[in-house]
């Protein structure tokens, strides 16, 4: 039962019978978990005195008055407010927030990047975060940022939380551990994790170097999409999401807590580990999900549907059906459509599309869009299959065909995305990306018939 191998860590609650070690299944469930017997008050939240001398503390992820409040009650060794120093501003120059519009950087275009290489420098979750695009405004809690992380070193006695955002983490290389106030989440490629706004954690390297993508959501939380006529089954099933059981450490050590707040970073010092929540209950918790559990639904006779059928999670924007962010997964699946151009069609989209490749080959771009790489097709800018994909798909003999060994994703937002200076000038931008369409020749010759 004791998954943590780190010697100074963590007393962990027993996993409920029949579930995956260390995790509890369900999306948005009202969980309860305790690492010591009787640590969780029963029948009430704020007893006059808590067992074990714990402090009760609520973490609210929605307004108190939200229609369905999301909040968690924590029973901890010390309240979070006990930090001994004022916050001091620090600089993390590569982690940007919207609005971040550099007049020298042009975002109007189709862009593609090779994987950002590891530099050899020791980088943590904080120093290794590289913002690629920002959209919206962190101060008004709309929009998002996309990042690449390059992490080679564990945080030691350093902790972090983002007051600005929840983070959707999409690993591409290496294995990470998020040791959080509410328990431990380990992730590797083909899995994702969500770290809620306000949750304190430390990020450790289990197997490095680690690279991946992050969608920083400034707005309303990610939720499971409405399934409409698809009905109750397929896509992402709620039980495949896993939240950790309670785990705590009772450790005195000079430590820091860094906060991301309105785009700025501030640090305070504390004398103990803040991962001291012995028991908790509630529906506001970190979660992981194995993307291999995503059950894609698609066209089974003809035509290519909108990619929204592959939505794993959506973060609403307030305008129904128009997401602040959709997280969309293009994974292994069968293609069976008859007399159909099967790859994505050529299109322009009011939403802006940031894509990343986790592994394998993406059907619209057989070359150049490689694992660890990213592309951006910004608001209303045309894009679609490259010449090679077009020719292949237009001339293929159409039998049932498995798109195998492939996993790419899209962070699609209703807001235009602005490149950071890093994305435009330091990251390995492919200068010749738009050439992948130049050789699409005119086939029209004024005579009818398919050509």
Ligand X SMILES: O=C(O)Cc1cc(O)ccc1O
Find the shortest distance in angstroms from Cβ 347 to Fe ion: 6
Between 77 and 364, name the residue whose CB sits nearer to ligand X.
Answer: 364
Residues within window 405-444 making contact with Fe ion, judged by CB under 5 A: none
Report how many residues bind ligand X under the rule CB under 6 A. 9
- The residue range among 59-67, 174-182, 213-221, 341-349 that interacts with ligand X, by the rule CB under 6 A, is 341-349
String of contacts with ligand X for each residue 53-92, x by CB under 6 A = ----------------------------------------
**What is the token pair recorded at 272?**
């103990």
**Cβ–Cβ under 8 Å, residues 224 and 27:** yes
**What is the token pair recorded at 313?**
């999670």
Which residues sit opposite 204 in a β-bridge?
177
Phi, psi of 170 (to 5 degrees): -125, 90
Closest CA to 424 of 358, 378, 379, 357: 378
Of positions 32, 164, 166, 353, contacts Fe ion by CB under 5 A:
353
To the query of whether residue 304 is one of the catalytic residues in this protein, the response is yes
Find the shortest distance in angstroms from Cβ 215 to Fe ion: 17
Q: Which does 356 bind (CB under 5 to 8 A by kind): Fe ion, ligand X, none?
A: none
Find the shortest distance in angstroms from Cβ 353 to ligand X: 5
Q: Which does 364 bind (CB under 5 to 8 A by kind): Fe ion, ligand X, none?
A: ligand X
Find the shortest distance in angstroms from Cβ 303 to ligand X: 11
Which class for 339: exposed (0-12), middle (13-18), buried (19 or more C-beta within 10 A)? Answer: exposed
Which is the catalytic residue, given 83, 304, 377, 418? 304
Report how many residues bind Fe ion under the rule CB under 5 A. 1
Find the shortest distance in angstroms from Cβ 126 to ligand X: 31
Q: What is the 3-state secondary structure (H, E, C) of 200-260?
A: CEEEEEEEEEEEEEEEEECCCCCECCCCHHHCCCCECCHHHEEEECCEECCCEEEEEEEEE
DSSP symbols for 8-46: T--EEPPPPTTS-TTEEE-SS--EEEESSTT-S-SS-S-
Of positions 16, 56, 99, 307, contacts ligand X by CB under 6 A:
307
Find the shortest distance in angstroms from Cβ 353 to Fe ion: 5
Q: Is 204 in the site for Fe ion (CB under 5 A)?
A: no
Q: Which residues contact residue 273 at a Cβ distance below 8 angstroms, ignoring those fewer than 6 apart? A: 157, 159, 249, 250, 251, 253, 255
Q: Rounded distance, CA 71 to CA 281, Å?
A: 9
Q: Which does 147 bind (CB under 5 to 8 A by kind): ligand X, Fe ion, none?
A: none
Q: Which does 292 bind (CB under 5 to 8 A by kind): Fe ion, ligand X, none?
A: none
Find the shortest distance in angstroms from Cβ 383 to ligand X: 6
Q: Rounded distance, CA 347 to CA 191, Å?
A: 29
**Cβ–Cβ under 8 Å, residues 24 and 34:** no
| Nearest-CB residue for ligand X | 344
- The residue range among 226-234, 267-275, 294-302, 353-361 that interacts with Fe ion, by the rule CB under 5 A, is 353-361
Number of H helices, E strands in the chain: 2, 26
Q: Which does 307 bind (CB under 5 to 8 A by kind): Fe ion, ligand X, none?
A: ligand X
Phi, psi of 307 (to 5 degrees): -70, -10
**What is the token pair recorded at 370?**
């490689």
Residues within window 343-372 making contact with ligand X, judged by CB under 6 A: 344, 347, 349, 353, 364
103's torsion region: left (phi>0), alpha (psi -120 to 50) or beta? alpha
**Cβ–Cβ under 8 Å, residues 254 and 271:** yes
Of positions 383, 390, 407, 415, contacts ligand X by CB under 6 A:
383
Which stretches of the chain bind ligand X, using CB under 6 A?
307, 344, 347, 349, 353, 364, 377, 383, 410
Q: Which residues participate in catalysis according to the annotation?
A: 304
Judged by the rule CB under 5 A, the positions of this chain that interact with Fe ion are 353
């Amino acid at each position: 039962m004791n998954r943590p191998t780190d010697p100074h860590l963590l007393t962990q609650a027993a996993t409920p019978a029949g579930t995956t070690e260390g995790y509890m299944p369900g999306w948005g469930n009202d969980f309860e978990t305790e690492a010591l017997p009787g640590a969780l008050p029963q029948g009430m939240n704020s007893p006059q005195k808590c067992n074990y001398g714990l402090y009760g503390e609520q973490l609210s992820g929605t307004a108190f008055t939200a229609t369905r409040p999301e909040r968690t009650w924590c029973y901890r060794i010390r309240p979070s407010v006990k930090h001994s120093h004022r916050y001091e501003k620090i600089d993390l120059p590569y982690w940007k927030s919207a609005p971040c519009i550099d007049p020298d950087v042009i975002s109007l275009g189709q862009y593609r990047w090779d994987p950002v290489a590891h530099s050899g420098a020791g980088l943590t979750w904080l120093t290794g975060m590289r913002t690629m695009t920002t959209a919206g405004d962190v101060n008004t809690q709309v929009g998002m940022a996309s990042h690449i992380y390059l992490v080679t070193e564990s945080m030691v006695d350093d902790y972090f939380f983002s007051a600005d955002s929840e983070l959707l983490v999409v690993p591409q290389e290496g294995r990470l551990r998020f040791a959080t106030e509410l328990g431990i989440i380990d992730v590797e490629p083909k899995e994702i994790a969500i770290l809620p706004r306000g949750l304190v954690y430390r990020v450790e390297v289990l197997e490095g170097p680690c690279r991946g993508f992050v969608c920083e959501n400034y707005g309303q939380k990610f939720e499971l999409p409405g399934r409409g006529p698809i009905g109750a089954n397929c896509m992402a099933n709620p039980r495949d999401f896993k939240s950790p059981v309670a785990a705590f450490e009772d450790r005195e050590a000079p430590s820091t807590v860094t906060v991301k707040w309105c785009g700025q970073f501030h640090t305070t010092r504390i004398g103990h580990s803040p991962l001291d929540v012995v028991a908790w209950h509630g529906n506001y918790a970190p979660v992981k999900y194995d993307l291999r559990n995503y059950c894609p639904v698609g066209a089974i006779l003809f035509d290519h549907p909108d990619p929204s059928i592959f939505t794993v999670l959506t973060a609403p924007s307030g305008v129904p059906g128009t997401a602040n962010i959709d997280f969309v997964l293009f994974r292994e699946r069968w293609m069976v459509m008859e007399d159909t151009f099967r790859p994505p069609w050529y299109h322009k989209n009011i939403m802006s599309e940031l894509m990343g490749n986790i592994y394998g080959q993406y059907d619209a771009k057989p070359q150049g869009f490689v694992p660890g790489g990213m592309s951006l097709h910004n608001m209303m800018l045309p894009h679609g299959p490259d010449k090679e994909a077009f020719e292949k798909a237009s001339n293929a003999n159409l039998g049932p065909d498995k798109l195998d060994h492939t996993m790419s994703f899209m962070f699609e937002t209703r807001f235009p995305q602005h490149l950071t200076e890093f994305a435009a000038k330091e990251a390995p931008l492919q200068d010749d990306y738009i050439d992948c369409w130049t050789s699409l020749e005119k086939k029209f010759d004024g005579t009818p018939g398919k050509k």
